[in-house]
Amino acid sequence: MITRRNYLTITIVMFIVFFLFQFSNVALESWNHYEENSYITDISEIPQNSDSFHAEDTGAEDFAGDVRETVVYIGKEGDLRKTVSLWASYTKRRLKTYLSPEEYEDSKEGKDQALPAVIMVDSSDIDWGGEENCALLEKYVETGINLVFCNLPEVSVIEDSPRLKTLLGIETVRAGEMPMGEVYLHQGFLLGGEAFYTAEEKEEGIEYTFPWYVVSSESEIYMNGIPKKQDLGTEPVEERELPAVIWKKDAGSAAVFAVNGSCMEDVAGLGILSAISAKMNPYEIYPVVNAQNMIYANYPGLADENEEFLEEHYSQSLEGLFQNVMWPDLVAVRRDNGLSLTCMLAPQFDYEDEHEPNGDQFQRYMKLLNEQRAETGLSGARISETPIEKKLAKDHEFMQRELPTYQFTSFYADGLTEEEVMDALREKLLGSVRTVVESPDDDKEVIGYLSEYVTRQSVIIDGFEETGRYDFRIRCLETALGYNSVMVDMKDIVYPEREERDWTFVSNTLWQNLRDHPVRRYGFDSTTVSECDIRIRRFLALDYKESREFNTIRLECNDTKGPVWFVLRTGHEMIESMEGGSWQELEEDVYLIMAEQGNVVITLKSAY
């Protein structure tokens, strides 16, 4: 039997619990300023395209008056030259291009100029018919210039030229073409450690059939192929005799690097060049973006479309599927992986039907996304033939009706051409957009500017695809730029073009991808696309110089209106202390440096 005293106590406790519950909800509601975009920034406070640093525009000196490091490229226009040009731009080096070794040699006549740090060669553009070009390349190496063969001459050329074989460090040509069962990436070249890639996985950026070159014992191999067992024969093959893919041959005060295949023509070449550069020197420090994005494109969707298909496959409407099934998964992914989320809103998919976006659902999602500290951008997706201008006009009407004070800072191009994107950015709805997310495209920069005020950032991988196929590309771009961008496109669920685009299947794939190939595997920061935009701007505006005396590295940076990041790769050395910023270890002998001041001092000590 409950006494009056106990009854009164229980009543008071229940009232307090009820009051606290109600108060917390009222407080949460009052503090949730979802009607404002927290990523809105005064454009004058962040770098713009005119602030970008271009080494070619500065002459031979850097901002501190010292001679700038120069890269020479020998070869014609093409994908390879574009990769080298992008890498030189991102690492703040001057790039000089020539069509042949003879043209480069002629350019030096009668001129007193500093030697380049490295000469990069497109072997397919060089005439190997005589000994002259090979002799010139030998001379450059002898004078202390590092040499990189971004690809190799034809097998027949190498077989017929002992001089070229010696320059490359090739002892034997075992086969003109050999299919590989696996490709092995050695520890300490790209970030992320060693890795095996099988021919069945068809890893992006890697070839599995190439000539079998056995390099000299003095060479250091960074990647090699492993032929299929049935192709090896009965004689045992030592590890050194396996087909070399990427290797270095020491040549006194310089080194010759070689890449067997065409992987340098892909964006993966940026990471290969950064890794090669680190192998040229006792230590290497270079700028990175330090941003990794997780983007949900075309989520949330606000119009109940394609009802028949969704009811048949999910027994739910689009509203139910997005709210009851997808939203809990998105929150769980964010919580379990520590990711910052960007959602690219799709008010409608089909602008030619009678379905209109639901304003109540929109308000609800804006509150939920703001509670998760997610960014809400706008998608340019549409499945009908509606012109982009008409689509944006209808979206503008909806936003004016439901949330007139909200301003978008990011836009997903969803396959629009560059001309269409530029036209879209002139529409009133996108007046505050300062960054555009683009689908993967090897013909475009990974990061860069679309206009004076708007940046572009490319998606690297599709979160619904098995990222085992993209592991090599991810490693390369993390090594070169500290950048990765994963996108999950919900339009593929609502209007699938392939049968396997079922949410149950693809969400399991996404979970497995994040478990086996976590976005934050390398220790770089997780960002929204607008946060990434600011880091891209500072990265592109950056100029710097570095020097070392004994165990002290000094780093001087120009004003980028905020902190910038670098990767420091050392040879068996550790950071003992740092002034002017902070640091964290990414892996053995690799550190992420945040420079918060214009002058940074890093003190190293031996790891032994």
What pLDDT shows up at residue 25?
45
Answer yes or no: are the C-beta atoms of 437 and 295 closer than 8 Å: yes
What are the tens digits of pLDDT across the range 423-445? 999 999 999 999 999 987 656 68
Of 33-37, 115-119, 162-166, which gets the smallest average pLDDT?
33-37
* Residues counted in the chain: 608
Domain boundary among 235, 260, 288: 288
155 and 109, same domain (yes or no): yes
Which is higher by pLDDT, 5 or 482? 482
Is a pLDDT exceeding 90 seen at residue 205? no
What pLDDT shows up at residue 63?
57
Let me know if residue 183 belongs to a domain: yes
Which is higher by pLDDT, 140 or 252? 140
Most confident of 87-96, 191-200, 327-336, 487-496: 87-96
What percent of the chain clears pLDDT 90, i.e. is strictly above it? 70
Answer yes or no: are the C-beta atoms of 544 and 558 closer than 8 Å: yes
Read off the CATH number of the domain in which 301 is found. Answer: 3.20.20.370
What are the tens digits of pLDDT across the range 528-544? 999 999 999 999 999 99
What pLDDT shows up at residue 26?
42
Mean pLDDT value of segment 517-522: 58
Most confident of 353-357, 464-468, 537-541: 537-541
What percent of the chain clears pLDDT 70, i.e. is strictly above it? 88
Domain boundary among 233, 255, 288: 288
Let me know if residue 23 belongs to a domain: no
- pLDDT classification of 400: cutoffs 50, 70, 90: very high
Rounded distance, CA 542 to CA 93, Å? 12
Let me know if residue 418 belongs to a domain: yes
Q: Residue 249 to residues 84, 123, 158: CA-CA distances in angstroms?
A: 21, 17, 16
Mean pLDDT value of segment 502-530: 77
- pLDDT classification of 8: cutoffs 50, 70, 90: low
Answer yes or no: are the C-beta atoms of 503 and 325 closer than 8 Å: yes
Cβ-based neighbour number of residue 362 at 10 Å: 20
Is a pLDDT exceeding 50 seen at residue 148? yes
Which is higher by pLDDT, 521 or 122? 122
Mean pLDDT of the chain: 88
What pLDDT shows up at residue 21?
46
Parent domain of 526? 294-535
DSSP string, 291-334: EEEEEEEEEEE-S---HHHHHHHHSS-HHHIIIIIIHHHHHHHH
Domain boundary among 223, 257, 288: 288
Is a pLDDT exceeding 90 seen at residue 150? yes
- pLDDT classification of 30: cutoffs 50, 70, 90: very low
Q: Which residues of 502-523 are buried (b: 16+ CB within 10 A; e: fewer)?
A: ebeebbebbbebbeebebebbb
Let me know if residue 13 belongs to a domain: no
- pLDDT classification of 466: cutoffs 50, 70, 90: low
Read off the CATH number of the domain in which 145 is found. Answer: 3.40.50.880
Mean pLDDT value of segment 251-267: 92
263 and 180, same domain (yes or no): yes
311 and 404, same domain (yes or no): yes
183 and 231, same domain (yes or no): yes
551 and 531, same domain (yes or no): no
Answer yes or no: are the C-beta atoms of 291 and 572 closer than 8 Å: no
Let me know if residue 106 belongs to a domain: yes
Six-digit token pair at 348?
A: 């409608």
Closest CA to 588 of 526, 522, 515: 522
Let me know if residue 262 belongs to a domain: yes
Of 67-81, 300-314, 488-502, which gets the smallest average pLDDT?
488-502
436 and 340, same domain (yes or no): yes
Mean pLDDT value of segment 532-560: 95
What pLDDT shows up at residue 333?
83
441 and 406, same domain (yes or no): yes
Let me know if residue 54 belongs to a domain: no
379 and 311, same domain (yes or no): yes
Let me know if residue 516 belongs to a domain: yes
Is a pLDDT exceeding 50 seen at residue 486? yes
Which is higher by pLDDT, 598 or 1? 598
Read off the CATH number of the domain in which 602 is found. Answer: 2.60.40
Rounded distance, CA 520 to CA 560, Å? 25
Q: How many domains does the chain have?
A: 3
Beta strands (DSSP E) in 451-572 are 455-458, 461-462, 483-489, 526-527, 544-549, 552-557, 564-570
218 and 243, same domain (yes or no): yes
Mean pLDDT value of segment 121-147: 93
238 and 306, same domain (yes or no): no
473 and 559, same domain (yes or no): no
257 and 319, same domain (yes or no): no
